[in-house]
Amino acid sequence: MADTALDRFFEIEKDKYGKAAYYFKPDKASSRVRAFYARPFCPKYTQSFSTTMYPNTFFAEKKKGNTQSCLETEYHENVHKWDRWHEGFAFVLKYAWPHWMGLPFLLAVVALSGMWGWIAFAAFIGLLHLGLVILEVSARRSKDGVASGGAAVPLYVFMLFGLIALVFISIRDGGYWAFLWLGALLFFSPWPFKPIFRRNYEIRGYTMSLYRIWLKYKDVFDAEKFKAAIDEYADIFAGPSYLFMETNRKRVRQEFLFQVARIQFSEAGFLERWVWKADITKSLRAEAEPFRMAKFSIDREGFGG
């Protein structure tokens, strides 16, 4: 029985994807594990960030008890669900690109370094986990559940020593094969191979957030609301929460301003098809269906929850 607007929207998702459910991050062991590894990059992963693991949504802790806030977030998350459903496993590979491409380089250089390479690799993983445990303990002792900046220092020190040991042993035992490290580091870092697919997927997701703002305030349009939201989104795109997926804030702002202009000019046209400001990629077969799903829900439910 769908008791709330949030439940009813998930019923719509079930009709589209076959199944869909939602949880709150602190209640799921899998989310607590992901939060453990995400903490160095996204300290508020559990408290403030909702995420999707298709076809399910894991809402941030702060949204517990607020079904209207969850519903507004779900409109955003449903964009990712629809793209995942539409593109299949290719969505997963593109969203995580290019970082997963560094794994073969990393494993190859460790393997070619012989027994000591594997020992160094195991030591590095152990040091990484020790640093993460320190972060986790610090976060649990804090009032807001977020580790202090000082608590992160041991993590990065341990990672640095572990990496130095790995590189030294791989050069000593692997010779020229040690240059494979360069390939691993290039793909794990946000430069020079930018995670453009993740950026594009998230532009769609955050455009949904802007569309919801427009629907809520279109009768008393306030440009400052959009400017504040767009500035916030641009900072998120350029920060570590999404692994620096777009450091050019101006480019992000321009794309969002273009989408807002499309909505204002013709909501019907916006809902008919998705259009990019520039043809930044032809591999993302973007569609407007999730925006129509949100429009249907908002027309039926309003903004009262």
Closest by Cα among 251, 244, 250 to 278: 251
Provide the token pair at 109.
Answer: 């250089």
Percentage, residues of the chain above pLDDT 70: 82
- 118 residue type, one letter: W
- 53 residue type, one letter: M
Give the strand order in the sheet containing 51-53: 21-24, 56-59, 51-53
User: Hunting for tokens 């320190």 — which residue is that?
Assistant: 134
- CB of 96 closer than 8 Å to CB of 161: no
DSSP symbol at 83: H
Question: Is pLDDT above 80 for 281?
Answer: no
Provide the token pair at 281.
Answer: 């990629």
Question: Is pLDDT above 60 for 284?
Answer: no
Percentage, residues of the chain above pLDDT 90: 41
Average pLDDT, rounded, for the chain: 83
What average pLDDT does the segment 42-55 reach?
Answer: 87
DSSP symbol at 65: T
Provide the token pair at 213.
Answer: 């703002």
What average pLDDT does the segment 290-294 reach?
Answer: 95
- CB of 208 closer than 8 Å to CB of 290: yes
pLDDT score at 75 = 96
- Measured from the Cβ of residue 33, the count of other Cβ atoms closer than 10 Å reads 10
Task: Please write the tens of the pLDDT for every residue from 125-180.
Answer: 777 777 777 766 666 666 666 555 565 666 667 777 777 777 777 777 767 776 77
Establish whether the linkage from the previous residue to 240 is cis, with ω within 30° of 0: no
State the pLDDT confidence band at 299, using cuts at 50, 70 and 90. very high
- CB of 198 closer than 8 Å to CB of 209: no
Q: Are strands 56-59 and 21-24 parallel, antiparallel or unpaired?
A: parallel
* Helix, coil or strand: residue 52: strand
pLDDT score at 82 = 95
What's the predicted TM-score (pTM) here?
0.83
